[in-house]
Structure 1
Amino acid sequence: MMRAESPSMSSGVTSSSPRADPSSVDATSRPAPDTALAQGVSPPRDLPGRVMGVEGFVLIERTGNVLAFNTQATLHFGIPAPTRLEHGRLPGCEWVRADGTPLPPHETPLERAFAGEPVDATVWEVLRPDGTRAFLRGTAVPVQGGDGQVAAVLLRTHGVEAPPGAVLEASRLLAEAGALLGESVDAESQLELLLKLLVPTLGDGALLILKPPGEPVRVVASLHADEGRHGLLRELLQRYPPDPSMPGGLPEVFVSGAVGRLCIMSEEHVAAIAQDTEHARLMREVGPHGCLSVPLGARGSILGALMLLRSNVLHAFDAEEERFLSELAHRTALYLENARLLREAREAVRQRDEFLGIASHELKTPLTPLSLKVQLLQKQVVVLAREGKPVPTERVAETLDVVQRQVRRLSRLVDNLLDVSRITAGRLRLELEELDLASVAAEILYRFAPAAAQHGTELELDAPVPVVGRWDRLRLEQVVTNLVSNALKYGAGHPVVLSVEGQGPLARLTVRDHGIGIEPQDLARIFERFERAVSDRHYGGLGLGLYITRQIVEAFGGKVGATSVPGQGSTFLLELPRGDIPEEWLIAHAAPGPTSD
């Protein structure tokens, strides 16, 4: 720490009162600050740092008795007024250098003043008992007793803002961080470079932990100033990743977004969170650190935490450092959120382009035979008309049948697109009425019978009793149609079995095929928009049928899922609440139980 000597002072300041033995000075004769000025104590010089508040005033005898300790001094040093000092130390306080290391006892302002040296400093840094750091501007002046020796020390302090250099340093780091984060849209590639701005400038180590909503905790960047500990830190995080379910394992920042402080990772803390002896060993070898963790908050959500580690526990994180780190974390969170939004926008554009390509192909598929048949019929009609011959009825009927099939196919595609639009806009309406799910399933199978016969597929229905509930007929038929259509498409000519049963307030529909099946990693996504488990080149479709099915089922308050074994087929299970129907329907139309012989 830099110190400046008072150029106008000699070995001490002589009191204007008669010389007396230091022991004769008692608390009743404590001089007020104005009295001290009258005794010849000059005020502090105009030093850098804006003065904040009134003056702190402390008068201490050589023996350690505290003769004066005003209210402002208690605020400056963060301690109540003591009655006595031991070895010239203020209770719980440490005088520290700019790098956070404590001053040796003989270099502290009080000890230097007791040694007869007038002490004047630009800025004193004091580590308070609560771990915060105070910047004080003041003087420590020796007061001579009657024997010519130092009888007491007068300490006068003013609180000042953080030195201008510290503000400039924070502004520079924020500017460098902004430039770094603006270099690339690849968010995570820049995060370790970001930590290099903090280490070793503000701490010995740093971690950046992400926990987006619905995703597990990930340490995306870590750094330690010591190369050996850097490797240990990486090993520790790789072998024992942060676990949010473990008490004490993660800071409160992930739960409430509050700033977290840990003065030192003590042996008790290690023992509390270590998963095993190896985990404890790695934590000890990384070293005891104090920790400051701030939330990565953006747009009302907590994305993770930025954690700064410091091995010098005497140099606690102060309020200015907390503000700086919080601002840096906020900017980082915005950068990560913007990068996520950009990725999602790019993915949406990719999906849109892919969908438009598939949709155009699917819409053209029925349009092509439709156009050819109409053109052919038109030519035949023109030729026959010229020859004066009648148009064969069977030829017109055949063409119209093809036209009708292709129009129905086009209508289904357009209806699907409209349904997606309604679902997205929240305009999917349901008109409820009492229906029998078993009857609906039988009717849908009847409609699919000709198509199933063409593919050599047998359709079976297992519905021993009616299963009545309150549903929307059109939407319920749409759900069953989509599931049966899906089973026929991927069933590879094998039997498709439907079963319907009631289980109290629930109705269950099962559609089972024996086709190609679905890979395990694809089961979760087949109910999403524009998703398929197979190539559209071989099976076609917009990838909307199962998505629409799930949305309708969830609108009914039910759920739909699938199980599958690749190569052996798939089973889709639909469960629907039966709604507000008479209780006797639940009993009278329940599935028959086992009979006894």
Structure 2
Amino acid sequence: MLRKIEAKLLIVDDLPDNLLALEALLQGEERQVFQATDADQALALLLEHEFALAILDVQMPGMNGFELAELMRGTERTKHIPIVFVSAAGRELDYAFKGYESGAVDFLHKPLSPHEVRSKVSVFVELYRQRKALSRQLDALEQARREQEALLAELRATQSELQNAVRMRDDFMSIVSHELRTPLNGLTLEIHLRKLRLEQNRSEAFTLDKLRAMTERDERQIKSLTRLIEDMLDASRIRTGKLSIRPQQCDLSDLTRRVLENFAAQAHSAGSPIELHAPEPVLAIVDEFRIEQVIANLLTNALRYGARKPISVRVSAGSEGPRLEVCDQGLGISAEDQARIFQQFERVNGTGVTQGLGLGLFISEQIVRAHGGRIELLSQPGEGSCFTVILPREPQGVL
């Protein structure tokens, strides 16, 4: 690693012959020598390069070597560069003190000894390379530490996601088993009662009116089971990107009216009359089956949390495109819950209502997004909720 670290050396002398002689002595593997004939040239080089060593001639016109060294020591970029003075003066003690006070780490005395020059320079070059190697190792260790911290954070996030996925799976299985059991229990009970009456030869239990009522109850339970299964399948289609949208022109007002007719019995049972405001046709280019799902999910949600109060449904041609509003006067949704109810398996907390898989709003939002539209929500706890579906004027393709 040390052999790959280049050491830059600066020599400063006003005599070209001295520069050439020094450069010849200093040349070596992984070394680059820079020359300057005065302090100004030296300062320009010092600001441009990182030097392992500066060799300064003491006696120079203008700024001498001592003054240049003091300037280097006062500059953040150059204050750590080792300085070796070259001097023709003797080895007087005062002269040496002045040099060391200026920042020198050593002296070379003229006439120069090639062995002495090479030996001293090699020591400083080796120290520079070791210092740079250590700095690179420290940088690598710091980078490795940051990468480990990032990996650890990623692993913790993954662990949290896995724990959340396991929790969601357990919650989902609990919800599914409960929701599927309800209609199945009803069907099972009906079958047992009919078998018992048949065994008792009670033909009066199977009059046309009673058979009609039985059939209607069976149909409701089967529809409930079918809807639960379809919701789970749709959630799976959405996750795998296989929920197809086949848009065609339709009247959104008429489509909404037909869905409301199918909800008449549920609205009566929930004690929440539904008022439709759709005074004129509103043409939309949508997948009728999927938008019918959205309307049904929003109505189911309004009946479930509507606190037996009237529900308002409006269809209009908005400025952005066809617009559908479903508003109730029920429990309302807190700001905290509003941020998550469009996620899978999420339901409003603290309402006492535990029906459903928590997929209706998730599926509805994904269907509307697949059309290129959006769902907006306005709600306050205790003041009801208003869901607004805004569809684009043009079809948007396939999810």
State the match for 1:32 in structure 2.
Answer: 21
Q: 2:121 aligns with which of 139, 156, 160?
A: 156
Is 1:528–2:343 an aligned residue pair?
Answer: yes
Shift of residue 459, structure 1, vs aligned partner: 1.1
| Structure 1, unpaired ranges of 5+ | 1-22, 38-42, 44-50, 118-138, 147-152, 171-317, 581-597
Amino acid at match of 2:21: A
93 and 113 in structure 1: CA distance in 2 versus 1, 3 angstrom threshold: farther
Is 1:143–2:109 an aligned residue pair?
Answer: yes
State the match for 2:154 in structure 1.
Answer: 337
The aligned runs of 1:13-92 (5 Å cut-off) are 26-28=15-17, 30=19, 32-33=21-22, 53-54=30-31, 56=33, 76-77=51-52, 85-87=64-66, 89=68
Amino acid at match of 1:375: H
Shift of residue 320, structure 1, vs aligned partner: 5.3
Using the alignment, how far apart are the partners of 1:523 and 1:494 within structure 2?
21
State the match for 2:391 in structure 1.
Answer: 576
Amino acid at match of 1:342: Q
Using the alignment, how far apart are the partners of 1:398 and 1:412 within structure 2?
21
Amino acid at match of 1:559: R
State the match for 1:544 in structure 2.
Answer: 359
Using the alignment, how far apart are the partners of 1:80 and 1:512 within structure 2?
86
Q: 1:417 aligns with which of 232, 236, 240?
A: 232
Shift of residue 450, structure 1, vs aligned partner: 1.4
What secondary structure, in the 3-state scheme, does the structure 1 residue paired with 2:267 have?
A: helix
State the match for 1:194 in structure 2.
Answer: none
Shift of residue 110, structure 1, vs aligned partner: 3.6
State the match for 1:492 in structure 2.
Answer: 307
Using the alignment, how far apart are the partners of 1:557 and 1:80 within structure 2?
72
Shift of residue 430, structure 1, vs aligned partner: 1.1
Using the alignment, how far apart are the partners of 1:503 and 1:476 within structure 2?
17
Equivalenced residue count is 357
What secondary structure, in the 3-state scheme, does the structure 2 residue paired with 1:87 have?
A: helix
- Contact in 1 for aligned 2:56/2:86 (Cα 8 Å): no
Amino acid at match of 1:76: F
Shift of residue 321, structure 1, vs aligned partner: 4.6
Q: Using CA pairs below 8 Å that are at least 6 residues apart, which structure has the higher relative contact order?
A: 2
What secondary structure, in the 3-state scheme, does the structure 2 residue paired with 1:358 have?
A: helix
Structure with the largest fraction of helix: 2
State the match for 1:379 in structure 2.
Answer: 196
- Contact in 2 for aligned 1:416/1:544 (Cα 8 Å): yes
Shift of residue 566, structure 1, vs aligned partner: 1.4
The C-alpha deviation readout for 1:490-543, integer Å capped at 9, x for no partner, is 111100010111024501111111111111221121111111113586331111
Q: 2:329 aligns with which of 514, 525, 533?
A: 514
| Structure 2, unpaired ranges of 5+ | 1-12, 93-104
- Contact in 1 for aligned 2:343/2:362 (Cα 8 Å): yes
The aligned runs of 1:113-192 (5 Å cut-off) are 116=91, 140-144=106-110, 156-157=121-122, 159-160=125-126
Pairwise CA RMSD: 4.4
143 and 358 in structure 1: CA distance in 2 versus 1, 3 angstrom threshold: same
Is 1:561–2:376 an aligned residue pair?
Answer: yes
Using the alignment, how far apart are the partners of 1:546 and 1:504 within structure 2?
24
95 and 361 in structure 1: CA distance in 2 versus 1, 3 angstrom threshold: same
492 and 57 in structure 1: CA distance in 2 versus 1, 3 angstrom threshold: closer
32 and 410 in structure 1: CA distance in 2 versus 1, 3 angstrom threshold: same
State the match for 1:440 in structure 2.
Answer: 255
Q: TM-score, normalised by structure 1?
A: 0.52
Q: 2:164 aligns with which of 334, 344, 347?
A: 347
Shift of residue 439, structure 1, vs aligned partner: 0.6
Using the alignment, how far apart are the partners of 2:333 and 2:23 within structure 1?
89
State the match for 2:214 in structure 1.
Answer: 399
The aligned runs of 1:196-595 (5 Å cut-off) are 321-384=138-201, 391-504=206-319, 506-535=321-350, 538-579=353-394
What secondary structure, in the 3-state scheme, does the structure 2 residue paired with 1:76 have?
A: coil
Using the alignment, how far apart are the partners of 1:549 and 1:579 within structure 2?
19
- Contact in 2 for aligned 1:457/1:488 (Cα 8 Å): yes
The C-alpha deviation readout for 1:403-451, integer Å capped at 9, x for no partner, is 2111110000000000000000000101111111111111111111111
Amino acid at match of 2:160: R
486 and 389 in structure 1: CA distance in 2 versus 1, 3 angstrom threshold: closer
Using the alignment, how far apart are the partners of 1:471 and 1:64 within structure 2?
80
558 and 79 in structure 1: CA distance in 2 versus 1, 3 angstrom threshold: farther
Structure with the largest fraction of strand: 1
- Contact in 2 for aligned 1:88/1:110 (Cα 8 Å): no
Shift of residue 457, structure 1, vs aligned partner: 1.7
Amino acid at match of 2:308: G
141 and 488 in structure 1: CA distance in 2 versus 1, 3 angstrom threshold: same
- Contact in 2 for aligned 1:516/1:569 (Cα 8 Å): yes
The C-alpha deviation readout for 1:197-225, integer Å capped at 9, x for no partner, is xxxxxxxxxxxxxxxxxxxxxxxxxxxxx
Using the alignment, how far apart are the partners of 2:203 and 2:299 within structure 1?
48
